[in-house]
Amino acid sequence: MGLFAIGDLHLPSTKEKTMDMFGGNWTNHKEKLIENWSGIITDEDTALLAGDISWAMSEAEAVSDLSMISAWNGRKILLEGNHDYWWKSTSKLERQFPELSFLKNNHTQYEDWFICGCRGWTCPNEVQFTEQDEKLYKREQMRLRLSLDSAMRSGAKQIILMMHFPPMNEQHELSGFVEIFREYPIHHVVYGHLHHAEHHKKAFQGMLEGIEYHLISADYLDFTPKKIL
């Protein structure tokens, strides 16, 4: 059994929307993803999907993409991204897709690891950080604590944290998210959101204060889920 992670699937839903705006290796990316997934993930494995899953704007539009994901090998744990406008009601999604796990203000488990997460938001930076960004940045920290505290109440000793946004800015300055990490037994942080090589190279990866950070944007991974454990 293995634990894998990937973010930013940007599946086309009923809109047939593409990622051609980003150039690079996005051509036919759904087909690449399906082939790579089936080649490495078995039904014994678990996969974390770190947001921006579908271009759908409503739950009805997202059904085709979520049904497709449901049919893929392994257990799937989904997190909301900033483009997942179809994610309105977690409880409704859970009823409609009981074979998928939806992570929001809660936690789940993989063997003796606890999986927590929050969408995150843009961290304070020198380029642009508006009052609205500040509001969402603080709200996501509250949601992060809700997820982590739910795991701790269940006896968590080791946590893998999934975010959509990077937990720090391009200068790798410590953020409110990283300060919260210090209070919990987090060993891995996986995140996506970043596209194109110029942004990938600015992402923080590696060890920091006992936590290993992984960039898992689909285009960075060439649409091949990364094995975390």
CA distance linking residue 194 with residue 25, whole number of Å? 14
Q: What's the confidence (pLDDT) of residue 19?
A: 72
Q: How confident is the model at residue 12 (pLDDT cuts 50, 70, 90)?
A: confident
User: Which residues does 56 contact at the CB level (< 8 Å), separation at least 6?
Assistant: 13, 14, 15, 62, 65, 85, 86
Query: Within 13 Å of residue 193, how many CA atoms lie on the same side as its CB?
Result: 25
CA distance linking residue 40 with residue 142, whole number of Å? 35
pLDDT surpasses 80 at 22: no
Which backbone phi and psi does 187 adopt, to 5 degrees? -110, -30
CB atoms within 10 A of CB 81: 25
pLDDT surpasses 90 at 13: no
User: Which residues does 57 contact at the CB level (< 8 Å), separation at least 6?
Assistant: 15, 85, 86
- Average pLDDT on 73-96 reads 96
Helices assigned H by DSSP within the chain: 29-40, 59-71, 90-96, 131-153, 176-181, 197-200
Q: What's the confidence (pLDDT) of residue 15?
A: 66
pLDDT surpasses 70 at 156: yes
Q: Is the pTM of this model over 0.85?
A: yes
Tens digit of each residue's pLDDT (9 = 90 or more) over 89-148: 999 999 999 999 999 999 999 999 999 999 999 999 878 899 999 999 999 999 999 999
Query: What rounded mean pLDDT belongs to the chain?
Result: 94
Q: What's the confidence (pLDDT) of residue 197?
A: 86
Q: How confident is the model at residue 196 (pLDDT cuts 50, 70, 90)?
A: confident
Q: What's the confidence (pLDDT) of residue 183?
A: 98
Q: What's the confidence (pLDDT) of residue 128?
A: 87
Q: What's the confidence (pLDDT) of residue 144?
A: 98
Q: What's the confidence (pLDDT) of residue 21?
A: 66
Domains of the chain (ranges; CATH) run: 3-227 (3.60.21.10)
CA distance linking residue 140 with residue 202, whole number of Å? 22
